[in-house]
Structure 1
Amino acid sequence: MKYIVILIIVLYCSVNTFAQLNPQSKQITQKFFPEIETLENTTPALQKNKGFTDYDDLMLFLNNLVEQHPENIKLNFIGKSQKGYQIPLVLLATQNTKEKIKVWMQGGLHGNEPASTEGMLYLLDKLLNDSKYTYLLDDIDLAIVPMANIDGYLKQDRYAANGLDLNRDQTKLMAPESVSLKQAFSDFNPEIGLDFHEYRPYRKDFTQLSDFGITSLFDAMFLYSGNLNVPENIRTLTDTLFVENARRILDKNELKHHDYISTGKYGGEIHFNQGSTNA
């Protein structure tokens, strides 16, 4: 039986291009991420002094990659956003006879989490142009949707044009973007599915934990299924195979990680919840 592992990776937004998200974020970035200057300015937002990658930037960036690497990359469109923008799907592969793992990645499902989209573009550049990473395509067929919620992204809003949270529309499929993503995902039929998001450590709840009002600065947080209705073998496979290997690589590179948590108030008290325990 073929198992599909779905994992949401939540990234801390640390790139100083995103400084306008919080008036303190540039100072925080410089304090906690002094290595930020080592990032190569290869993606649209990293090349700007201000602002994020917009749709025109995105398409220019992707078309340039196709022109430079026609043998390794294909650009398709899986549908349109509610405001008529074509949703790009990037397919990366090398021509060899090896049996490969099929991996699906998507970013920008929440339109106000630009680190996810920018991370996808940075990854595309590395896989195609950096010899330290190009070998990965010998073992992986990769499908990437870098900007899944285009309408929300362009106005830096969490929701789609009809007000729906696309990350809560995985089963009802009430938004056309959800239908397009589901169909493209099914057509590609991956073994691994990765959905990239962003979290901000500044939250009102955390002001009661310290004067600074901040939680730990994790480089990545993992959200994967812990719901008991999911078969135990799939839950175990996800945790002990995929996530555990990712944890080891992060540890090796001295990066911080944690299972994803959220907070809520109940009876006036703050409760911390581990993600992905609901149906």
Structure 2
Amino acid sequence: MLKTETPSAAHPDLDLYELPQLVSAFIEDQVEAVDAVRRAGPQLAAAVAAALPRIQAGGRILYAGAGTSGRLGVLDSVELYPTFSWPRERAVAVIAGGQQAMFVAIEGAEDDDVQGAADIAALNPGPNDVLLALAASGGTPYVLGAIRAAREAGALAIGFANNAGAPVTAAAELGITLDTGPEVISGSTRLKAGSAQKMALNTFSSSLMVKLNKVYGNLMVDLKATNAKLLRRAVALTMRASGADEALAREVLAKCDNHVKVALVAIKKNLTVQQSRELLDASGGSVRRALNG
């Protein structure tokens, strides 16, 4: 039996717990998710290193999964645009059962390896693309089909699974094992297995974005200010990084479509917005290189 399916020896009488003990059991079990991601740190670092040159060459980040794993892939793909201004067309997720599976469980869709391959093939993957293939069990046919199609097209396939020796990690060019063990509720991998996948995806994509010069220091200077909250954040980031007062920060941001990177370099180097953009372009998008150049 898969470890993710094995009943938890720590909580055989879960249904008898008083509420405080029950809540504590769920919370404490999440610590194992953190530990699993920590153990996978070297694998995650290797995956980012392998993906980086492909993405720098214009490749896309593709995601494939079923159920909770699929929804987590969609979530990661969607959040890259507002957080890092990453183009939507360069972060594309497919999920077993199609878009409706985001909201309604589509039973049986995960068992269709042919559809998994077809969904990825429909994206016309190429050698610079990177597939993140997610399966808690590690044997989901839909995900295995996606990996097969990606690799046949020359794309880099990275497999994430919550069981050691899983087919998904074996089929992928690089495998990341998030060994979270038995769940508090047997087999409910939306619990700590899902938490570990979310953390691993956050770590992978955020590390990639840092290396793509989307961050200055630890500030998200390439965010897309698409609402009032993010606009306030853009102002605060510009003030913090440049030392400018609010009035100046807002004035320069208004001239560059609220692009923190551009405003920051313009203020710090006393440049026009156009000069700032040109300097950033010449610096590969790196604020640090633009400021020190």
RCO higher in structure (CA 8 A, sep ≥6):
1
- TM-score normalized by the length of structure 2: 0.28
- TM-score normalized by the length of structure 1: 0.29
Higher-Rg structure is: 2
The structure where helix makes up a greater share of residues is 2
The structure where strand makes up a greater share of residues is 1
